[in-house]
C-alpha cells in the first residue's frame, strides 16, 4: 500500500522558495528498473555525488566530478517513491548528460554517457534510485520535487537488489521482417522487458513468428501480438510479461486503406532504434513501383531524435555530426529486423524535421541505383534545388493513370511542332 506524502501543490501558485543554492550530498545513484511497486533492481551505481537545482532552466542536476545528469519534467513520470533514505524516480525518457567546460565554467558540452554509466545502460534504465547521506536531505528533496515538478510523492518500503543475469539470447533473429520489427519495438522498453523475458516466452515468440511467415503486416499474428504486448507493458509498469503474455489479446487486424501505403517508421537516437507502430501514409512514385523496388517494407522513414526523443538541437548536432554524415553518405547502414537500410533521399521539409527515407536492397536494386533511375539532376548545381527536384519522386501523391514512355515521346513531339508553328506564324 502506498501512503501519499504531502499535498500536491496548486499549479497556479508560484514557487516562492529559491532552491538554486541548495546542494545535497548523495551517497549512491543506481540505474535500473522497478520490478514491482516496492522492489527496485539495479544494473549499475555511482557513489559520492551531489544534487543541485537550477531554478531558471527548471531541472535537477545529479553531479559527479565534472559530469551532470539532468532530470527535467520531460523525462520524469508524474510521481516518485520514497522510503527512509531513498527516492526512486521513474523515467519516461532518458535524461541528458553534460560536461563542465572549464574554460567557460559552463555545463554546455553534451555527452552520451555519465561516469561509468554507458549508453546501453542509460537507454534501458526506466527508474533511478537516489540514496542520501543524511536523513534531513530526504524531506528537502521531496519538497523540491513537489514544488518544481508537481510530482505525487508516495512512501513505502523499498526492496533493493542487484539485477539478475539474463541468459536468454534476445538478439537472435526471428523468421521475418515484421516479427523482428515488433520484437525490437518491445525490447526498446529496456531492462524491465529484457531482464524479465524467460526462455519459455522467447520460444513462444519464435513459434508465433514461424506461424506468421509470409503474412502482410495488417494480418501478421506475431506483429499484432507483440505490438499489443508493447502497449500493455508501456501502460503498466509492474506487469509480469511472462505470466500475462498469453492473456494479452493481439491487436485487431486493420483493413488496409486503398491507395495508401504502410511503411515502417523509426526514431533513431545515438542510444538505439525505437520502432513506431505502422500507420497509413500516402504513396509516391517510388513506393508504387513494387515489382521493381520491392514491397513497402523495403522502405523506412527514419526520424533522428535526441536521446530523450526530443527534437535535436544545436548541441546534439555538433557532437553527432560525424554519425549523421556517415548515415547520409551511406558509410553506415541501419539494421531493422532482418533487413539493412541505407540512406535514399529526403525533401527540404523532411530535412528540417530531421526525417529521411531509407531503403533496403531488393534483388539488384539499391539506394544509389534508385537515385539514378529517378533522372539526371546533374544540371542542378544548388544543393537545395537538387534535393527539391529529386524529392518530387518521394512526394505523397494519389495514383491515377500510368503514362508509358511511348506516350511521353508522342507528347514531346506534339509540343515541339506546336511551338514551331507558333514561331513560324
pLDDT of residue 334: 92
Q: Which three cell numbers stand for residue 61?
A: 542536476
Q: Return the closest-CA partner of residue 20 out of 66, 65, 51.
A: 51
Q: pLDDT tens across 66-116, in order?
A: 899 999 999 999 999 998 889 999 999 999 999 887 766 676 788 899 989
pTM for this predicted structure? 0.86
Residue 121, pLDDT > 80, answer yes
Residue 325, pLDDT > 70, answer yes
Distance linking the first and last C-alpha atoms of the chain? 93
Percent of the chain residues past pLDDT 90, beyond the cut: 44
Rounded to the nearest 10°, the torsion over CA 385, 382, 368, 342 is -80
pLDDT of residue 8: 54
Reported confidence tier of residue 351, pLDDT bands at 50, 70, 90: confident
What is the average pLDDT across 140-149?
Answer: 89
pLDDT of residue 3: 54
Angle subtended at Cα 333 by Cα 339 and Cα 268, rounded to the nearest 5 degrees: 90
Lowest mean pLDDT, pick from 200-209, 291-300, 382-391 = 382-391
Q: pLDDT tens across 220-254, in order?
A: 999 999 999 999 999 998 999 999 999 999 998 77
Task: Compare 421 and 313 and report the one with higher pLDDT.
Answer: 313
Domain boundaries, the chain: 3-162, 164-255, 256-425
Q: Are 178 and 212 in contact (CB under 8 A)?
A: yes
d(CA 269, CA 309): 7
Q: What is the DSSP string of 85-117?
A: SEEEEEBSSPPEEEEEETTTTEEEEEES-BTTB
Q: Is the domain defined by 3-162 classed in CATH 2.30.29?
A: yes
Residue 332, pLDDT > 60, answer yes
Q: Determine the 3-state secondary structure of 56 from DSSP.
A: coil
pLDDT of residue 264: 93
d(CA 225, CA 34): 24
d(CA 111, CA 94): 12
Q: pLDDT tens across 157-172, in order?
A: 888 888 887 666 666 6
Which residue matches cell numbers 533487413? 339
Q: Which residues are 63's β-sheet partners?
A: 50, 68
Q: Determine the 3-state secondary structure of 30 from DSSP.
A: strand
Q: Are 182 and 209 in contact (CB under 8 A)?
A: no
Amino acid at each position: 500500500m502506498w501512503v501519499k506524502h504531502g499535498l500536491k501543490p496548486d499549479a497556479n501558485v508560484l514557487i516562492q522558495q529559491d532552491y538554486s543554492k541548495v546542494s545535497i550530498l548523495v551517497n549512491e545513484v543506481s540505474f535500473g528498473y522497478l520490478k514491482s511497486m516496492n522492489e527496485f533492481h539495479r544494473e549499475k551505481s555511482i557513489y559520492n555525488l551531489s544534487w543541485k537545482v537550477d531554478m531558471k532552466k527548471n531541472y535537477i542536476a545529479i553531479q559527479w566530478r565534472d559530469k551532470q545528469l539532468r532530470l527535467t519534467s520531460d523525462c520524469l513520470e508524474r510521481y516518485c517513491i520514497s522510503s527512509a533514505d531513498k527516492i526512486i524516480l521513474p523515467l519516461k525518457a532518458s535524461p541528458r548528460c553534460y560536461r563542465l567546460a572549464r574554460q567557460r565554467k559552463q555545463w554546455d558540452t553534451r555527452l552520451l554517457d555519465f561516469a561509468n554509466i554507458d549508453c546501453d545502460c542509460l537507454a534501458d534504465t526506466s527508474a533511478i534510485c537516489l540514496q542520501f547521506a543524511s536523513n534531513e536531505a530526504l524531506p528537502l528533496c521531496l519538497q523540491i520535487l513537489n514544488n518544481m515538478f508537481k510530482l505525487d510523492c508516495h512512501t513505502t518500503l523499498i526492496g533493493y537488489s542487484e539485477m539478475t543475469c539474463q541468459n536468454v539470447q534476445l538478439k537472435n533473429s526471428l523468421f521475418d521482417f515484421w516479427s523482428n520489427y515488433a520484437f525490437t519495438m518491445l525490447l526498446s522498453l529496456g531492462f524491465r522487458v529484457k531482464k524479465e523475458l524467460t526462455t519459455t516466452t522467447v520460444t513462444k515468440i519464435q513459434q508465433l513468428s514461424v506461424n506468421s511467415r509470409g503474412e502482410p503486416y495488417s494480418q501478421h499474428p506475431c506483429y499484432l501480438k507483440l505490438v499489443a504486448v508493447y502497449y500493455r507493458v508501456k501502460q503498466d509498469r509492474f506487469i509480469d510479461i511472462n505470466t500475462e503474455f498469453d492473456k494479452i489479446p493481439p491487436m485487431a487486424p486493420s483493413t488496409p486503406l486503398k491507395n495508401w501505403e504502410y511503411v515502417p517508421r523509426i526514431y533513431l537516437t545515438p542510444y538505439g532504434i525505437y520502432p513506431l507502430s505502422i500507420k497509413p501514409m500516402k504513396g509516391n512514385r517510388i513506393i508504387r513501383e513494387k515489382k521493381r523496388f520491392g514491397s513497402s517494407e523495403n522502405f523506412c522513414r527514419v526520424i533522428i531524435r535526441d536521446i530523450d526523443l526530443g527534437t535535436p538541437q544545436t548541441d546534439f548536432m555538433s557532437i553527432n555530426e560525424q554519425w549523421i554524415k556517415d548515415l547520409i553518405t551511406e558509410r553506415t547502414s541501419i539494421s531493422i529486423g532482418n533487413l539493412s537500410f541505407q540512406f535514399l533521399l529526403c525533401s527540404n521539409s523532411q530535412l528540417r524535421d530531421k526525417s529521411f527515407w531509407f531503403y533496403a536492397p531488393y534483388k539488384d536494386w539499391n539506394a544509389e541505383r534508385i537515385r539514378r533511375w529517378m533522372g539526371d539532376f546533374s544540371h542542378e548545381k544548388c544543393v537545395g534545388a537538387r534535393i527539391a527536384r529529386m524529392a518530387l519522386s518521394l512526394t505523397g501523391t494519389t495514383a491515377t493513370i500510368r503514362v508509358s514512355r511511348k506516350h511521353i515521346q508522342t507528347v514531346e513531339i506534339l509540343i515541339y511542332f506546336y511551338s514551331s508553328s507558333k514561331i513560324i506564324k
